[in-house]
Amino acid sequence: KQEVTQIPAALSVPEGENLVLNCSFTDSAIYNLQWFRQDPGKGLTSLLLIQSSQREQTSGRLNASLDKSSGRSTLYIAASQPGDSATYLCAVLDSNYQLIWGAGTKLIIKP
Partner 1 sequence: DTGVSQNPRHKITKRGQNVTFRCDPISEHNRLYWYRQTLGQGPEFLTYFQNEAQLEKSRLLSDRFSAERPKGSFSTLEIQRTEQGDSAMYLCASSLSSLSETQYFGPGTRLLVL
- Contacts with partner 1, residue ranges (CB under 8 A): 4, 31-32, 34, 36, 41-46, 49, 51, 89, 91, 93, 97-99, 101-104
Nearer to partner 1, 71 or 104 (CB): 104
Query: In the complex with partner 1, which residue's Cβ is closer, 4 or 75?
Result: 4
Distance (Å, whole) CA 68 – CA 93: 12
> Which CB, 32 or 63, lies closer to partner 1?
32
CB contact set of 84 (below 8 Å; sequence gap of 6+) = 77, 107, 109
SS3 83: helix
Name the minimum Å distance from CB 15 to partner 1: 25
Full DSSP string of 23-41: EEES---EEEEEEEEE-TT
HSE toward the beta carbon, residue 8, CA cutoff 13 A: 9
- Minimum distance from CB of 111 to partner 1 (Å)? 25
Q: How far is the CB of 43 from partner 1 (least distance, A)?
A: 4
For partner 1, the closer CB: 77 or 100: 100
For residues 108 and 15, what is the distance between their CA atoms, to the nearest angstrom?
9
CB of 42 to partner 1, least distance (A): 6
